[in-house]
Chains A and B, each alone.
Chain A
Amino acid sequence: KAGVTQTPRYLIKTRGQQVTLSCSPISGHRSVSWYQQTPGQGLQFLFEYFSETQRNKGNFPGRFSGRQFSNSRSEMNVSTLELGDSALYLCASSFSGRVDNEQFFGPGTRLTVL
């Protein structure tokens, strides 16, 4: 069974630009969560999607948005990039997103904002 895939693996952007990251969950998984990981802060929850619906959102500005498609693939978008957005963005999938579901993480997208 293929794992969670994320593309691209690395991105370099400049301030003010926007970026779109993609995540393909494990086949059969319908819940996708996104996290931002920075040194010292750990994983910060961005949002969770299930069946194309956002069920929860973290404390991030509106520049961070996401969506999920009917095949459960998900994208997140960051507009008007700031230097502080430099981070590893991880997506994780689970079967249903229930609180007791183990999450399977992708390798992440390393975003550098210059």
Chain B
Amino acid sequence: GQNIDQPTEMTATEGAIVQINCTYQTSGFNGLFWYQQHAGEAPTFLSYNVLDGLEEKGRFSSFLSRSKGYSYLLLKELQMKDSASYLCAVTVVGGFKTIFGAGTRLFVKA
């Protein structure tokens, strides 16, 4: 079976750093995506990890530990526009489908 867990909501302050965790239990795990979704908009791609380690892309970084079934998305120098839902999603080998977690709503306050 497949199970993905993320915190439901998080609040952080503008300019700060926030880490959004995602744990998964998935048969045939292949890789892990992070998507950002602003309210009323479509999800947009942030990152994809297939190997263990940290991938940095500007203010956003994503980490994966395959052995622990764990990933996190790190957002630095938070801006008000980062207020959004962050969706963790896993893909399985040969599955032709992406399994999404319920998402974490991030509120950035001044």
Is the Cβ of B98 less than 8 Å from the Cβ of A100?
Answer: no
Beyond known contacts A42-B100, A56-B97: 17 more, CB 8 A cutoff: A33-B97, A33-B98, A41-B102, A43-B43, A43-B100, A43-B103, A44-B100, A56-B95, A58-B97, A90-B42, A97-B96, A99-B95, A100-B31, A100-B91, A102-B48, A105-B43, A105-B44
- In the complex, whether A103 has a CB less than 8 A from a CB of chain B is yes
State whether A99 and B31 are in contact (beta carbons under 8 Å apart), knowing that A40-B102, A55-B96 are contacts in the complex. yes
How many contacts between A and B, using CB within 8 angstroms? Answer: 61
Q: In whole angstroms, how far apart are the Cα atoms of A90 and B50 in the complex? A: 25
Number of interface residues of B (CB under 8 A): 25
Q: In whole angstroms, how far apart are the Cα atoms of A41 and B102 in the complex? A: 5
Chain A neighbourhood of B33, CB < 8 A: 102-103
* Per-residue interface assignment for chain B, residues 34 to 63, with 1 indicating a CB less than 8 Å from any chain A CB and 0 otherwise: 000000011111001010000000000000
Q: In whole angstroms, how far apart are the Cα atoms of A31 and B93 in the complex? A: 16
Minimal beta-carbon separation of A65 from chain B (angstroms): 16
Most chain B beta-carbon contacts within 10 A, residue among A31, A48, A102: A102
- Which residues of chain B (90-110) have a CB below 8 Å from chain A? 91-103
Chain B neighbourhood of A43, CB < 8 A: 43, 87, 89, 100, 103
Minimal beta-carbon separation of B15 from chain A (angstroms): 29
Residue of A whose beta carbon sits closest to that of B90: A99
Is the Cβ of B45 less than 8 Å from the Cβ of A102?
Answer: yes
Is the Cβ of A103 less than 8 Å from the Cβ of B45?
Answer: yes
Number of interface residues of A (CB under 8 A): 27
- In the complex, whether B79 has a CB less than 8 A from a CB of chain A is no
Residue of B whose beta carbon sits closest to that of A44: B100
- In the complex, whether B30 has a CB less than 8 A from a CB of chain A is yes
Chain B neighbourhood of A90, CB < 8 A: 42-43
Most chain A beta-carbon contacts within 10 A, residue among B42, B87, B94, B99: B42
- In the complex, whether A66 has a CB less than 8 A from a CB of chain B is no
Q: In whole angstroms, how far apart are the Cα atoms of A101 and B69 in the complex? A: 21
State whether A107 and B41 are in contact (beta carbons under 8 Å apart), knowing that A99-B30, A99-B91 are contacts in the complex. yes
